Structure 1
């Protein structure tokens, strides 16, 4: 079970980083979403996966699940949803103003080195 969860975290993180490095805004948004899913699964697995145990300490429960990772994941889900909505709005605004969804447009090009200017 641990290998499956670790593999899922690795695949989500790798896919997220790959998509973040793309040149268009939509894959960047999807990549950030995958990366946040990977972090959420990591936070959830950090609290040790356990089945059929209550998250709250009671007098009749022999064992319990740690509620802190669950609270962290719920908070991270809300924050990532808000950030995704903000990034989508910013990408849409950038597309409407520039007519392109490229994320690397507008970056000034570096000047040619002096040696190349002299030889050409």
Structure 2
């Protein structure tokens, strides 16, 4: 199971990085969002999942660690705000430059990049 989770996190991280390296703003926003999902799952997995374990310490019973859950909840809120800010900046850049390329320069018409 650990190998499956690690492989899945690796693929999601690789997809997020690939999308962030694209030349347009929409894949950049998607890549940042996917990468933040991968980081959230990684933080959550580090806390190990306990079944039917109370979050409060009791004598002789295993307890769930609430810290990764709190960190992921905070990261979701921060990621949502960051995504909103990035979308607004991309829209403003599109309005100012007339193109949705990250560098603001449209490629020549004969050599269009995807």
Give the TM-score of the pair, scaled to structure 1.
Answer: 0.81
How far did residue 58 of structure 1 move?
A: 4.0
Task: Return 89-98 or 3-12, whichever deviates more.
Answer: 3-12
Q: TM-score, normalised by structure 2?
A: 0.85
1:29 — aligned with what?
Answer: 29
Structure 1 Cα separation of the partners of residues 91 and 24 of structure 2 = 12
Q: Does 1:9 align with 2:9?
A: yes
- What is the distance in 2 between the residues matched to 1:7 and 1:16? 14
2:40 counterpart residue number: 40
Query: In the TM superposition, what is the alpha-carbon distance from 1:64 to its structure 2 partner?
Result: 1.0
Instruction: Please name the residue that 1:69 is paired with.
Output: 68
CA displacement 1:40-94 (0-9 Å, x = unmatched): 01100111122222222245x7111111111110111111000000000000111
Q: How many residues align?
A: 105
Unaligned runs of 5+ in 2: 106-114
Aligned twin of 2:91: 92
For 1:95 and 1:20, the matched residues in 2 are separated by 17
Structure 1 runs (4+) deviating above 4 angstroms are: none
State whether residues 97 and 104 of structure 2, in contact with CA within 8 Å, keep that contact through their aligned partners in structure 1: no
Bigger Rg, structure 1 or 2 = 1
